[in-house]
Amino acid sequence: MSIQIRDLTYVYSENLPYETVALDHINMEIRDHSFNGIIGHTGSGKSTLIQHLNGLLKPKSGQIIVDGIDITGSDVKLREIRKMIGLVFQYPEYQLFEETVQKDVAFGPLNLGLSQENVEARVREALTLVGLDFSELADRSPFELSGGQKRRVAIAGVIAMKPKVLVLDEPTAGLDPRSHRDILQLIRNVHEQEKNTIVLVSHNMGDIAALSDQVFVMEKGKLILSGTPREVFANTALLKGIGLGLPPAAELMEQVRQRCADAPRDVLTVEEAEQQIVRWFGKDKKC
Amino acid sequence: MLRDITLGQYYPGTSVIHRLDPRLKIVGTFIFLISLFLVRNFIGFGIAVGFLALQIAISRVPLSFIFKGLKPVFLIILFTVVVNMFMTRGEPILQWWIISLTKEGLYRAGFMGLRLVLLIIGSSLLTLTTKPISLTDGIEKLLSPFRGVGLPAHELAMMMTIALRFIPTLLEEADKIMKAQMARGADFESGNLLQRAKSLIPLLVPLFISAFRIAQDLAMAMEARCYRGGDARTRMHAMTFSWRDAVAAICLVAFVAVIVVQSHVL
């Protein structure tokens, strides 16, 4: 499922003294089955942008075309759009409300009007996909779980709706390193198994570089850069200028290259850095 | 959505009116409202309208904001005017069936309507030009003489301040949760009353949990900074009664004097 965004503009508190332009003529294309990363500072408009993707916010002007249908139109059935595009908010564990884990995950699928058996199968599948044991947790209260487990349950609640596009707003915020890794791995698994499109909003350049096919950089409501991670992270000066910087491995190699001009370039991830450094050390080093 | 709701309706600005001591503004507003009840004829109201218009002009709050305050009470004003118009006995101008419009009725309707409008605009000018936090500070200071008789002035003001402080936070929280549940297909808008009440559960349960969490965090943070109530506390923004306030107070006294003389002596 592809999404085209054309000239999208959104203004908060329009016509009030504190009016702010949150999105300023955004144009972007999200391809089918791709893994997309959106980076930018707090307040750069990332969250506002993704809330437009499933009709939670209505733009001031511009279009969002999902599979050929403009979802900003007034005659569009929002339920259909929300079925296709699943949105996991920041700190999604704060939206848990049911008595049991099973009931909470079932909330979304039931709202889609699926049959009881179908819903149960989906709940089981979603919980397994996020790495939780269905038989152990299904009947427990979501409020008794640990922070990382709560977050997985909340993500499962959206995955159970089987969206064709899964949008996640900083899904690893506030987690310990291990839960952080686990959540990213589960997103990768979902992407591979469900063959869906992923849109991941993150502050972590390393994660974005390692996972994305396409990267979009937002700054002050504008889309200032887009392309493959390699294309985007080649703009070192621009990224540093807006306070974002590079993935850690790229930053390290950048520092090395300032001392030795022949150090490897184009390094994004730790794995790449490892290979490149081994190869570089094999040669006759001058420094 | 929810975050568009404005509470306390403060209109940010730096005018003289904005900067007046909140204590003076609160007391002044009361005096102005009371003086409106001393007015006996339209000339008096003319003076009051002029005085209020002058304040609005100085405050630089747009008129559209001033009149917004009238919207919710529009029906009450209309009702008062209509009742007064037709229910007052006197010299009839128009008569139809059992309804009669009298000269006295028309006069009283205009009188009452104008008084109501002035009362509302007068009091909303206070909330439009004073931050809610300064308002509660002002109330605390005004109530503090009554601490001797057991009125917990500081605690009351602190409770009001915290409540006001968290209205936008909780609204934002509610907005977030609502959107998250809508993204999961929740429907808050259709269905009959029972269905709608039921559909609020996914919103209210997380909201209550958030409210308790926020309250607990705040209590902890206050304790960590050794908060222990009102005794001997000093404030960062001490309220000072400046020459500006003195001028404003003199204007107000002059206004009240003119009103009293105009309606009760002349």
Looking at residue A228, what is its pLDDT? Answer: 93
Q: Band of the pLDDT at B1, cuts 50, 70, 90? A: very low
Query: Rg (Cα) of chain A, in Å, rounded?
Result: 21
pLDDT along chain A (287 residues), means of 10: 89 78 91 93 89 89 87 81 90 92 93 90 93 91 91 94 93 91 92 92 91 93 92 89 87 86 81 84 67
Domains of chain A are 3-238 (3.40.50.300), 247-287 (no CATH)
Looking at residue A283, what is its pLDDT? Answer: 67
Mutation target to probe the A interface, by most A beta carbons within 10 A, among B60, B172, B184 is B184
pTM above 0.95, yes or no: no
Q: Which amino acid does the sequence have at A3?
A: I
Tell me the pLDDT tens digit for each residue of B204-256: 999 999 999 999 999 999 999 988 877 777 777 777 888 889 999 999 999 99
Looking at CA atoms only, how far is residue B121 from chain A in angstroms?
20
Q: Band of the pLDDT at B144, cuts 50, 70, 90? A: confident
Closest partner residue to A161 (CB to CB) among B182, B184, B202 is B184
Distance CA B229, CA B223 (A): 11
Task: Collect all residues of chain B within an 8 Å Cβ-Cβ radius of residue A79.
Answer: 185, 187
User: How much helix, strand and coil, in percent to the nearest 5, is found in chain B?
Assistant: 75, 5, 25
Task: Collect all residues of chain B within an 8 Å Cβ-Cβ radius of residue A77.
Answer: none
Looking at CA atoms only, how far is residue A31 from chain B in angstroms?
21
User: How much helix, strand and coil, in percent to the nearest 5, is found in chain A?
Assistant: 45, 20, 35
For A190, the 3-state DSSP assignment is helix
Find the distance separating the first CA and the last CA of chain B, reported in whole Å.
Answer: 54
CB A85 within 8 A of CB A163: yes
Q: Taking 80 as the threshold, does the pLDDT of residue B265 lie above it?
A: no
Mutation target to probe the B interface, by most B beta carbons within 10 A, among A53, A95, A98, A112 is A95
CB-CB under 8 Å, B210 with A94: yes
CB-CB under 8 Å, B180 with A54: no
Tell me the pLDDT tens digit for each residue of A177-231: 999 999 999 999 999 998 999 999 998 899 999 999 999 999 999 999 999 998 9
Task: Collect all residues of chain B within an 8 Å Cβ-Cβ radius of residue A83.
Answer: 185
Closest partner residue to B183 (CB to CB) among A13, A82, A96 is A82
Looking at residue B3, what is its pLDDT? Answer: 46
**DSSP for A235-259?**
-HHHHHHTT----HHHHHHHHHHHH
Looking at CA atoms only, how far is residue A80 from chain B in angstroms?
9
ipTM of the complex: 0.86
Q: Which residue has the higher pLDDT, B91 or A279?
A: A279
Q: What percent of chain B has pLDDT over 70?
A: 96
- Which residue of chain A is at minimal alpha-carbon distance from B185? A111
